[in-house]
């Protein structure tokens, strides 16, 4: 749940290979981020949002797959949706604990 814990995120993404992402892909991604202040989580979330915008704007037109993460879109989307559902459950539980009975 801690999106800043890159080690745990990488472990979730590559073990087991349910998303098809190999450790080498993550290493390449990390190398490309060395000079930026973005986390892997932020980059992947940005990729998913960009992809969703493109698919809604260009639903009938063909577009080229230029992003190396394109082949992982479905698995990443499922994973990030799952994380978001967990966050919502935790927030609801914390909110219900603070409400007076």
Write out pLDDT tens, residues 13-48: 777 766 667 777 777 777 777 777 788 888 888 888
Are 37 and 4 a contacting pair, CB within 8 Å?
Answer: no
CA dist 101 and 96 (Å) reads 9
The mean of the pLDDT values for the chain is: 77
Its pTM stands at: 0.57
- CA Rg value for the chain: 16
Residue ranges per domain, the chain?
6-98
Confidence of residue 60 (pLDDT cuts 50, 70, 90): very low
pLDDT value of position 100: 67
Q: Is 86 left (phi over 0), alpha (psi -120 to 50) or beta?
A: alpha
């Amino acid at each position: 749940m801690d999106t800043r814990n890159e080690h745990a995120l990488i472990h979730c993404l590559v073990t087991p290979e349910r998303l098809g992402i190999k450790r080498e892909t993550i290493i390449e991604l990390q190398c490309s981020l060395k000079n930026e202040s973005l986390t892997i989580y932020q980059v992947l979330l940005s990729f998913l949002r960009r992809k969703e915008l493109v698919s809604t704007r260009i639903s009938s037109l063909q577009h080229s797959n230029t992003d190396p993460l394109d082949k992982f879109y479905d698995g990443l989307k499922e994973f990030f949706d799952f994380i978001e559902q967990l966050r919502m459950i935790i927030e609801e539980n914390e909110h219900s604990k603070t409400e007076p009975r």
